[in-house]
Structure 1
Amino acid sequence: MSKHCTHVNQIQTVTPSATGCEECLAMGDRWVHLRECLICGHIGCCDSSKNKHATKHFQTTGHPIVRSFEPGEDWRWCYIDNTFI
């Protein structure tokens, strides 16, 4: 049986906070892929990036759902339910 996300009601219409990972841009660092928080619009780097800023944003804010911010990708992930939406 597939798992369902219980947090989709928290998704907002957001504006991306940056064109790249906010924290990496500020530190002059690089990232592998980008994720957008669907609660506030924060752009952070993925867990394949050394800084893992998208996950750190979730850990700090509790905002559970991100989407890929990569061109051509259209998926969402819930950190709490550990599942794709």
Structure 2
Amino acid sequence: MANTPQSKKRARQIERRTEVNKARRSRIRTYLRKVEEAIASGDAEAAKAAFQAAQPELMRGVTKGVYHKNTASRKISRLASRVKAVSAK
């Protein structure tokens, strides 16, 4: 348990930051789920639109420190290829 005033303050800050990061991660997952659902339904236009919306959201997660840059790039790359495959059908 935190004893010093500084460690108590850090604990409070971490608590607040955790809540913000949790909300961000949840928001990003929602965007990704929308892309997944559009791909599953086979709707190329909806998938493309959802992907266009999800891409900047994912990269924003990188700048805010929620995701690593390579992780976000990998997710975007894999989604892009799946959206492209749906469009090709």
Does the alignment reach a TM-score above 0.5?
Answer: no
TM range (shorter): under 0.3
Whose radius of gyration is greater, 1 or 2? 2
The structure in which a higher percent of residues are helix is 2
TM normalised by structure 1 equals 0.25
Tell me which protein shows more strand as a share of its residues: 1
TM-score normalised per structure 2 = 0.24
